[in-house]
Amino acid sequence: MTLIYSGAISLGAIADEFGAARSNVSLRSRSSAAGKGTPDAMSEFYGYTAPKAAFQHGTTVNGPNQTNSSGTLVTYKSNVLITLKCFGGTSTGATAYATYWINGVGTAQTATAPQYGMQYASINVATPGSRTAALSIYPGPTGASSSQYADVVAS
Protein backbone atom coordinates (compact mmCIF):
# COMPACT_ATOMS: atom_id res chain seq x y z
CA MET A 1 0.00 0.00 0.00
CA THR A 2 1.51 3.21 -1.10
CA LEU A 3 0.38 6.79 -1.02
CA ILE A 4 0.28 8.59 -4.32
CA TYR A 5 3.50 10.23 -5.50
CA SER A 6 1.92 13.45 -6.67
CA GLY A 7 -1.06 15.69 -6.18
CA ALA A 8 -2.98 16.36 -3.04
CA ILE A 9 -2.68 14.01 -0.11
CA SER A 10 -5.30 14.20 2.57
CA LEU A 11 -5.13 13.23 6.18
CA GLY A 12 -7.78 10.67 5.42
CA ALA A 13 -5.56 9.01 2.86
CA ILE A 14 -2.69 9.00 5.32
CA ALA A 15 -4.93 7.47 7.95
CA ASP A 16 -5.97 4.82 5.46
CA GLU A 17 -2.35 4.03 4.79
CA PHE A 18 -1.82 3.35 8.46
CA GLY A 19 -5.05 1.45 8.70
CA ALA A 20 -6.27 4.03 11.18
CA ALA A 21 -9.63 5.66 11.53
CA ARG A 22 -10.10 8.81 9.48
CA SER A 23 -11.48 10.85 12.32
CA ASN A 24 -9.26 13.00 14.48
CA VAL A 25 -6.21 12.37 12.36
CA SER A 26 -3.26 14.41 13.45
CA LEU A 27 -0.50 15.13 10.98
CA ARG A 28 2.02 15.25 13.80
CA SER A 29 0.97 11.89 15.12
CA ARG A 30 1.12 10.34 11.68
CA SER A 31 4.47 11.96 10.94
CA SER A 32 5.76 10.71 14.22
CA ALA A 33 4.42 7.27 13.46
CA ALA A 34 6.28 7.38 10.19
CA GLY A 35 9.46 8.34 11.96
CA LYS A 36 9.53 11.84 10.56
CA GLY A 37 10.59 14.89 12.49
CA THR A 38 9.21 18.39 12.50
CA PRO A 39 8.22 20.55 10.76
CA ASP A 40 5.46 18.41 9.40
CA ALA A 41 4.26 18.52 5.84
CA MET A 42 1.81 16.47 3.86
CA SER A 43 4.40 16.20 1.13
CA GLU A 44 6.47 14.03 3.42
CA PHE A 45 4.04 11.28 2.62
CA TYR A 46 4.45 11.24 -1.13
CA GLY A 47 5.03 7.64 -2.04
CA TYR A 48 4.99 6.62 1.59
CA THR A 49 4.30 3.03 2.45
CA ALA A 50 3.43 2.26 6.03
CA PRO A 51 5.34 -0.71 7.36
CA LYS A 52 3.12 -3.68 7.18
CA ALA A 53 2.38 -5.89 10.06
CA ALA A 54 4.35 -9.00 9.90
CA PHE A 55 1.24 -10.97 9.19
CA GLN A 56 -1.70 -10.29 7.03
CA HIS A 57 -4.96 -9.18 8.52
CA GLY A 58 -6.99 -12.18 9.31
CA THR A 59 -4.10 -14.36 10.24
CA THR A 60 -5.41 -17.16 12.29
CA VAL A 61 -3.95 -17.66 15.70
CA ASN A 62 -2.71 -21.16 15.47
CA GLY A 63 -1.38 -23.28 18.20
CA PRO A 64 -1.40 -26.80 19.46
CA ASN A 65 -4.77 -28.16 20.42
CA GLN A 66 -6.52 -24.95 19.58
CA THR A 67 -7.45 -25.24 15.99
CA ASN A 68 -9.72 -27.31 13.90
CA SER A 69 -8.70 -28.77 10.61
CA SER A 70 -9.07 -25.40 8.99
CA GLY A 71 -6.69 -23.84 11.41
CA THR A 72 -9.44 -21.88 13.07
CA LEU A 73 -9.34 -21.35 16.77
CA VAL A 74 -12.24 -23.19 18.27
CA THR A 75 -11.99 -23.00 22.03
CA TYR A 76 -10.84 -20.84 24.84
CA LYS A 77 -7.22 -21.40 25.63
CA SER A 78 -4.98 -19.80 28.13
CA ASN A 79 -1.31 -19.13 27.92
CA VAL A 80 -1.10 -19.24 24.20
CA LEU A 81 2.30 -18.10 23.21
CA ILE A 82 1.99 -15.68 20.39
CA THR A 83 4.37 -13.38 18.67
CA LEU A 84 3.36 -9.85 17.98
CA LYS A 85 5.31 -8.12 15.30
CA CYS A 86 4.17 -4.59 15.67
CA PHE A 87 4.27 -1.82 13.15
CA GLY A 88 7.72 -0.84 14.15
CA GLY A 89 7.66 0.26 17.75
CA THR A 90 8.04 3.83 18.75
CA SER A 91 9.02 4.93 15.30
CA THR A 92 5.57 4.14 14.03
CA GLY A 93 3.49 5.14 16.96
CA ALA A 94 3.29 2.02 19.02
CA THR A 95 3.39 2.75 22.70
CA ALA A 96 5.59 0.98 25.13
CA TYR A 97 3.77 -1.29 27.51
CA ALA A 98 0.48 -0.38 25.91
CA THR A 99 -2.34 -2.81 25.64
CA TYR A 100 -2.99 -3.89 22.11
CA TRP A 101 -5.92 -5.79 20.85
CA ILE A 102 -4.79 -8.60 18.70
CA ASN A 103 -6.78 -10.07 15.92
CA GLY A 104 -7.55 -13.67 15.85
CA VAL A 105 -10.21 -15.77 14.34
CA GLY A 106 -12.04 -17.91 16.76
CA THR A 107 -15.25 -19.21 18.13
CA ALA A 108 -16.53 -17.80 21.33
CA GLN A 109 -16.64 -20.18 24.18
CA THR A 110 -20.03 -18.99 25.25
CA ALA A 111 -21.24 -17.28 22.17
CA THR A 112 -24.31 -18.41 20.37
CA ALA A 113 -22.70 -17.83 17.04
CA PRO A 114 -19.13 -17.79 15.87
CA GLN A 115 -17.34 -14.64 16.73
CA TYR A 116 -14.07 -13.35 15.66
CA GLY A 117 -12.01 -13.45 18.72
CA MET A 118 -9.60 -10.88 19.92
CA GLN A 119 -7.16 -11.17 22.65
CA TYR A 120 -5.19 -8.72 24.62
CA ALA A 121 -1.97 -8.56 26.42
CA SER A 122 0.50 -6.02 27.57
CA ILE A 123 3.43 -6.33 25.29
CA ASN A 124 6.50 -4.21 25.30
CA VAL A 125 6.69 -2.66 21.90
CA ALA A 126 9.12 0.07 22.75
CA THR A 127 11.37 -0.97 19.95
CA PRO A 128 10.61 -2.39 16.57
CA GLY A 129 10.59 -6.07 16.16
CA SER A 130 8.74 -9.01 17.40
CA ARG A 131 7.66 -9.65 20.95
CA THR A 132 6.24 -12.70 22.46
CA ALA A 133 3.80 -12.99 25.26
CA ALA A 134 1.67 -15.58 26.85
CA LEU A 135 -1.90 -14.60 26.24
CA SER A 136 -5.30 -15.74 27.11
CA ILE A 137 -7.60 -15.87 24.18
CA TYR A 138 -11.13 -14.68 24.52
CA PRO A 139 -13.92 -14.13 22.09
CA GLY A 140 -14.34 -10.75 20.57
CA PRO A 141 -14.78 -7.97 23.06
CA THR A 142 -16.01 -4.55 22.28
CA GLY A 143 -14.27 -1.26 22.51
CA ALA A 144 -11.09 -2.06 20.70
CA SER A 145 -9.95 0.64 18.40
CA SER A 146 -9.15 -0.63 14.99
CA SER A 147 -6.02 1.46 15.05
CA GLN A 148 -4.85 -0.77 17.84
CA TYR A 149 -5.18 -3.89 15.85
CA ALA A 150 -2.22 -5.98 15.08
CA ASP A 151 -1.90 -9.35 13.58
CA VAL A 152 -0.42 -12.24 15.36
CA VAL A 153 0.70 -15.72 14.89
CA ALA A 154 1.44 -18.35 17.42
CA SER A 155 4.99 -19.27 17.96
Partner 1 sequence: MKRIITILVASVLVLTSCSKEELPTPNQVNVVVQTPEVTPNPPANIPDLGAPTEAEFAALPQWTNIPDNVMEQVLIDRGFDNILDGKVLTSKISKITGFDSNDGTIMGQYGRMFERKDIHDFTGIENFISLQFISFWKCPISTVNIRNLKRLKILGMSECPITGTIDISQNTQLEEIGFQNAAERCDDPTYPFGKTLGLTSIDVSHNLKLKRIYLACNRITSIDVSMLTNLEEIYLGGSAWQSYKVGGGNPIQRLDLSHNTKIRVVNVEACNLNYLNVKNNGILDRCITIYNPNLNQILVDNASAMNAVAQNNPVTYRKDAHSVFVQ
- Smallest gap from Cβ 115 to partner 1, in A, equals 9
61 or 133: whose CB is closer to partner 1? Answer: 61
Binding mask 45-64 for partner 1 (x = CB under 8 A): -xx----x---xxx------
For 5-20, b/e burial (b = at least 16 CB within 10 A) is eeeebebebbbbbbbb
Residue 71 or 129: the one with the smaller Cβ distance to partner 1 is 71
Burial of 132 (0-12, 13-18, 19+ CB in 10 A): middle
| Size of residue set near partner 1 by CB under 8 A | 33
When binding is defined by CB under 8 A, the residue of 31, 62, 66, 103 that contacts partner 1 is: 103
Which one of 11-19, 29-37, 91-99, 125-133 is the stretch in contact with partner 1 (CB under 8 A)? 11-19
CA angle 16, 17, 20 (to 5 degrees): 50
Q: Which stretches of the chain bind partner 1, using CB under 8 A?
A: 1-2, 4-10, 12-13, 15-16, 19-23, 43, 46-47, 52, 56-58, 103, 105, 116, 118, 140, 146-147, 149
